[in-house]
């Protein structure tokens, strides 16, 4: 009986330890700019400062326009987007939502 209790306790501890990295917090990022590349797995967005940020896309990534769902295929190179993403750094991002927005113009 004692061995079974120890075994169950060890199993529970191992499961909690394995789940810890999955629940580790990521930083939130908002990338605003123009789409330079789009594929089934990635979107590249050129920001106002000229830097291009590559962001991974997965099956959970939402695509919206005016708060309504759209298809990923509606995203076009040259289109303006706001991407909400998570990651450890700007070099390792996963898109949570890609919002298609009106053309972004610079104020003069």
How confident is the model at residue 29, as a pLDDT? Answer: 97
pLDDT digits (tens, 9 = 90+) for 2-52: 555 555 565 555 556 555 454 456 899 999 999 999 999 999 999 999 999
CA distances from 2 to 7, 11, 25 (A): 9, 14, 37
* Contacts by 58-62, CB closer than 8 A, 24 or more apart: 58/94, 58/95, 60/96, 61/94, 61/95, 61/96, 61/97, 61/98, 62/96, 62/97, 62/98
Q: What is the pTM of this model?
A: 0.74
CA distance 70 to 23: 29
Chain segment 55-78, per-residue pLDDT in tens:
999 999 999 999 999 999 999 999
């Amino acid at each position: 009986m004692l061995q079974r209790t120890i075994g169950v306790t060890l199993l529970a501890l191992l499961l909690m330890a394995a789940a810890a990295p999955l629940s580790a917090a990521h930083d939130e990022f908002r990338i605003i700019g123009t789409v330079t590349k789009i594929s089934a797995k990635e979107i590249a967005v050129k920001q106002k400062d000229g830097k291009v940020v590559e962001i991974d896309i997965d099956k959970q990534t939402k695509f919206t326009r005016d708060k309504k769902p759209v298809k990923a295929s509606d995203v076009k190179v040259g289109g303006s987007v706001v991407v909400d993403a998570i990651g450890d750094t700007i070099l390792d991002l996963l898109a949570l939502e890609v919002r298609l927005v009106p053309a972004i113009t610079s104020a003069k």
